[in-house]
Chains A and B, each alone.
Chain A
């Protein structure tokens, strides 16, 4: 079977009269297998949306090739668009229609039933706002409606461009559950995000993108492992003597100031057991390396989402 997505050496340069040339996508290649949950992680302006739009068939690249479910997304064919669901970064709705009328229209365009539309509203938690005009929904509600529209055609492949950007923490967690459920049913999901923890929580594999280039692709765990970074264990100061701190550090990095002591250890289990037996667990915080560190490592720049 073909891969869900195969992208080779995409390039796109925007030419503005005043802004000059922006190399939004600069030689991007990747492959997404069917059923995979694939994330593109990167700061503002990294080129995520442009990449997605090219893959979806909204924009033509300057060069490079795209295969979507084994076909070219260009020119558009109903056979392909009917199998793909898209949530664009900026929500787009029919003016003056209610959420329900909106989703029904999209359901009809995808050849799905009306009840399917109502189910999707329910699924994204908008059932009680069904009669509200789209322009009167809050930003997060609009985002959810737009996700419902992406799912209404029962797609094999779903593109979500920053789906959780405008959501409150509760809605974000709910949406995570929803996205996991979509993926668990065998649908391929491609997600872009600014949030490290989102990529870690959801994605099978993550592409780290910066300045139009994909810097690295791996599973979140693979990234962290490859980084070989120490775990940072923090406790409140004053619970341990200077001698004991040096002893516990066992030659690894440690720093202390008036309020905290921070150990950087590669054997957190042993250190935590020792701290527990000392009864020195006040103010305890354990931070393992995450994608943030990976980003720093991969791009050489601090994460500034």
Chain B
């Protein structure tokens, strides 16, 4: 405090243009985000860790053949393609089921005359379901051959399954969109809830309200930082999934960007509601968990909804994660055009709008 002169340069006495205020706030908040290690961990590293974990739980990524245990004599497997089935034999059913339980195989098969009994793995439901699916396709193929042999010249109906991912449903194709949707959900919900609680604590918003920049500019900058983060998170995640885990990206993958942005808006709105209720950071984190965990479990992101009980399937219609997951899976994995996911987009948009309205109505601004 050596110099006491306050030499006043000429400062425009009109407020700075909105664009400039927005940019400086965006810069300040963005820098803060990058320097907050816990945020970087939650948004970028945690989903990647989940991918490593889940893809190893649900089966090795490189080997797409279903591991089948043939109990006794199973003639139907004789026509099996070695690329699709990795067949081992088991002396009896009990032994086979024990091996399944230990995760040594994806399904066990018993053939009793004309009946083929399939026991999918109870421990790894995804690869079990895939194995069961592959087996029933095999049985269909055999049936078609038998029928054509019996009645040559008679046309037989047969299904040709044209799979978007090149013929094999590997766990990563199925898991990646789910984990990404989950990553977007937690960074949106936890991020917004934590930020609101921080603002309540350190009164930054109160101070900013007394600057010429408007609160809406500030909120806009904050949301923009979150949207940019979501895009970066998506890019990093998909790149790692593609390069490190063999996820095959469709030509429509770029459409993940608008989907993720829409999803982020919905999850931020949920976070704002939570932040309005919670008083402390641990409270906000706890409440965020309470909301995101069930939302993830009923969304079908981590295991197929088809394998879930009916009530889960019904409830899942309420989870925004379900729609984000479905939409991402459609465009990124199955290469469907954006028009195919219009219903999901519609739901996410309505959900985001409704929750944003709720957060706007219930939020106590004077607490900030």
Interface positions of A (Cβ within 8 A of B): 56-59, 76, 78-79, 81-84, 86, 88, 90, 92-97, 101, 104-106, 108-113, 115-116, 119, 122-125, 149, 151, 153-154, 171, 174-175, 177-178, 181-182, 185
Nearest Cβ on chain B to A53's Cβ, whole angstroms = 8
Q: Find the residue from B4, B9, B28, B29 having the highest chain A CB count within 10 A.
A: B28
Inter-chain contact A109/B210, CB cutoff 8 Å: no
Q: Verify B36–A92 contact, CB threshold 8 A.
A: no
The complex places the Cα of A270 from the Cα of B198 at a distance, in Å, of: 63
- CA distance in complex: A111, B23 (Å): 12
Instruction: Specify which chain A residues have a CB less than 8 angstroms from the CB of B163 in the assembled complex.
Output: none
Query: For residue B21, which residues in chain A have a CB less than 8 angstroms away from its CB?
Result: 108-109
Contact B5 A110 (CB under 8 A): no
Contact between chains at B16 and A110 (CB < 8 Å): yes
Interface string of B180-220 (1 = CB under 8 A from A): 00000000000000000010001110111111111000000
Contact A88 B207 (CB under 8 A): yes
Closest-CB distance, B48 to chain A (whole angstroms): 23
Q: How far is the CA of A174 from the CA of B3 in the complex (A)?
A: 10
Q: Is A154 a contact of B8 with CB atoms below 8 Å?
A: yes
Q: Using Cβ atoms and an 8 Å threshold, which residues of chain A touch B214?
A: 76, 78
> Are A96 and B1 in contact (CB-based, < 8 A)?
no
- Interface code B1-40, partner A: CB below 8 Å = 1, 0 otherwise? 1111111110111111000110111011101100110000
Chain B: residues with Cβ within 8 Å of the partner, total of 41
CB of A101, distance to nearest CB on chain B (Å) = 7
Could you say which residues of chain A place their CB within 8 Å of the CB of B2? 125
Shortest distance from the beta carbon of A158 to any chain B beta carbon, whole Å: 11
Contact across chains for B15 and A113 when beta carbons are under 8 A apart: no
Q: Contact: B28 with A105, CB < 8 Å?
A: yes
Q: Is the CB of A95 within 8 A of B36?
A: yes
Docked Cα-Cα span, A86 to B27, in Å, equals 23
Within 8 A of A (CB), among B135-160: none
Which of A81, A94, A113 interacts with B29 by CB under 8 Å? A94
When distances are taken between beta carbons in the complex, the residues of chain B under 8 Å from A90 are 202-203
Question: Is B162 in the interface zone, CB < 8 Å from A?
Answer: no
